[in-house]
Chains A and B, each alone.
Chain A
């Protein structure tokens, strides 16, 4: 059981380049999230997906697009990378709601934009 798998683990981009961060979960969860973590800060929500084909903006969506083509996969795309998008990106999926609620995180993607 792999849980939440993110690729790549590290990426360096030049300003203006594009890339897609991949995320897949094998736990049959409906809800998936993309968060970013900046140094010395907690995580901030970029986008959320409640199910296949549905997405919703979070706290910091500008400069990003997402795609939820199926239940397993939730990708995050940077169309024209900017230095302000240098961060660590985490994908997560959620099991349940309430007392048995639990978030499962991927291992993160460290992105540097030069």
Chain B
């Protein structure tokens, strides 16, 4: 199956700093999503981005499908950005099942 590697595994930032999270995947995909899991365990969709660039407020994501990687940018980080960020990819057009990476744990300190 598809392998998904995320880096870095852990990241500590001061409030206001910027960061870049990376997701590498081993095969072509037609589905790539970024999720945020907050410290209470709730999972929230951030982006559906199998290719191209999207922005939503302080967050943006870029996927270069031909080179099999995606980047999530967090600008002007806030303590509420803390949690685990997951990249998930898929190739099947029916179930749309996702293979998740092991995540990047982000801690934003005040």
Contact = CB atoms under 8 A, between A and B. Distances in A.
A45 B94 CA distance: 14
Q: Provide the main secondary structure of the chain A interface.
A: strand
Given A88-B41, A99-B48, A101-B48, A43 B86 contact: yes
Contacts of B86: 42-43
A76 to B, nearest CB: 16
A107 B42 contact: yes
Contact of A42 (B41, B45, B48, B102): B102
Interface residues of A, number: 28
3 cross-chain pairs, A with B, having the tightest CB-CB distances, nearest first: A42-B100, A105-B43, A43-B100
Given A33-B97, A59-B1, 19 more contacts: A31-B96, A41-B100, A41-B103, A42-B86, A42-B99, A42-B102, A43-B98, A43-B100, A45-B97, A48-B95, A50-B94, A88-B41, A99-B48, A100-B48, A101-B96, A103-B43, A103-B98, A105-B44, A108-B42
